[in-house]
Structure formats: C-alpha cells, structure tokens
Amino acid sequence: MAVIHWNKKYGETLLITLERFRSTHPEFQDAKITYAGRLDPLAEGLMILLTDEDVHHKDRYNKLSKTYEVDFLFGVSSDTYDALGILKETKDPKPFPHKKDLSSFVGSLAGVQEQEYPPYSSKTIKGKSLWQYAREDQLDGIIFPKESREVFSAELVSHRELKRGELISEYLSVIDFIEGDFRQEEIKSHWERYLDERPDNRYTVFTARFGVSSGTYIRSLVHSIGEHYGCGALSLRIKRTQIAEHQL
C-alpha cells in the first residue's frame, strides 16, 4: 500500500498520467491505482495517487484543501472557461484593469461563496455529466447545481507581456498534443481567428494564487473575474502546488 505524490504534466489527460506512472514505476504495474482530486488537461502539478487498500480512503483525500496558481488572459472567454474550449467572445477591456484594482478584486474573492458548476465539468445530473449535455447542445433547461465553497486566500501574483509566438509556444501549442476528442481542430481554428484579428500582437497574462476548499473550480474563479470587468477571461494554465500538508 502507498500514498504517492505524483506530478501531472501540462497537457496530459488523467489516463495518460496514470499510464506514465505505471511505465516509470513497474513495481505498481499490477496494483490497483486511483487518484484523489481531478486535474483537467490544461492543469498540472500535484496529484495524490492511492494504491491497493488505500484506494478505499479516496474520499478522505478528496476533501482536503488545495492551493493553485493560475495563468489567465483577459479579453476572451470560452465555453469551458479555459483555453481548451470554443471561444465565445473577444473584447479588449477598456480601460484595461489597473493592477491595483485587479489585485483588490482578486483579493475580494476570498470567503465562502455559492459556486455554480461550469458547463464542462464531470458533475452528474440525471445520470449524465454536464460536459455530455454541453457537447450535445442540450444545456437548455438544465439547472446548474451550486455548492458552497470557500476561498481561503486569493492574491494576484504577477503579470507578463507576451507576443503572439510566445503565447502560442508557452500555452496554445499544447492543444496539438492532448490525446482524445476535445474538439481540438475546431478550437485551434477559433484561436487562429482570434490571434489574426488582434491589431497589436501583444497579450498580458496574469498569474493569481488561490487557496481553496475541495471542489472549487479555479477556471470558474477566473471566469468570474472576466465577468466582473465585462470583457471575459479564461485560464491558460493551472498548477496545483499543494493539497493540505502534501506538496510536490
């Protein structure tokens, strides 16, 4: 039996990261393995893997608090709330949020709140995941469930100016390497149009850090920042750095 700290890579699906774990740790080739706490393809960082009899204690690890860092982009939103989604609106914030004001608003997200599940999530309604309803264009009439979540800490960490090529190489190029059907070709065509329509070829990427209770969607927090400023925002990369006292 073992509780293992594993570093999921950016762009990996959960299936691929578990396959990579087994290939690099042949001693667990035939062991039962599960994970406590999902990470989306555009998320990386700490995962707790449970093996053998410890798989039965998954709920205990699922409920632990977590810390994340997220890189996000203003002026564009998607149906998944991150870069691996169909772009919905592109609108430059006018005026661009002042760093002091943005830092203050990010800090105001700390506290207990009712968070609605994003349309692309694994939350099940009537035996079917929300993301399945979304892919089949059947979200009309679906009442999105809400859960009480707590943001223990929220802070704006930094911001950077990137050129088009830097944005692509650092974030968007990963779309080509994600395995499975995530609508990659359609998503890439949306990004190509968005980038071609940008007049200044410069993009400001912000980084925020959140300490949250279990079940909090970081991409939903970023989405709410974009809604506050009326211009949209989406997550480019999420990194989980800590689960309670567990660290990489």
The tens digit of pLDDT for each residue in 75-123 reads 899 999 999 999 997 777 666 777 889 999 999 999 999 999 999 999 9
Please report the pLDDT score of residue 53 as a whole number: 84
Tokens at 50, concatenated: 């449970």
Neighbours of 92 (CB within 10 A): 14
What CATH number does domain 66-247 carry, 3.40.50.620, 3.40.50.300, 3.40.50.261, 3.30.2350.10? 3.30.2350.10
Neighbours of 52 (CB within 10 A): 12
192-217: burial string, b at 16+ Cβ within 10 Å, e else: eeeeeeeeeeebbbbbbbbbbbbbbb
Please say if the pLDDT value at position 35 is more than 80: yes
Q: If you write DSSP's letter for every residue of 60-74 in order, what string do you get?
A: HHHTS-EEEEEEEEE
pTM for the structure as a whole: 0.94
Q: How far is CA 134 from CA 138, 186, 189, in A?
A: 6, 15, 20
Return d(Cα 153, Cα 139) in angstroms, integer.
32
Residue appearing with tokens 């609508």 = 183
The tens digit of pLDDT for each residue in 207-231 reads 999 999 999 999 999 999 999 998 8
Closest among 89, 67, 63 to 77, alpha carbons compared: 89
Please report the pLDDT score of residue 238 as a whole number: 98
Rg of the Cα atoms in the chain: 18
Return d(Cα 9, Cα 5) in angstroms, integer.
13
Angle, alpha carbons 45-48-50 (nearest 5°): 150
Q: Which of the two residues, 248 and 137, has the higher pLDDT score?
A: 137
Closest among 182, 228, 239, 201 to 77, alpha carbons compared: 228
Tokens at 227, concatenated: 């809604």
Please report the pLDDT score of residue 130 as a whole number: 94
Return d(Cα 179, Cα 217) in angstroms, integer.
22
Q: Helix or strand or coil: residue 97?
A: coil
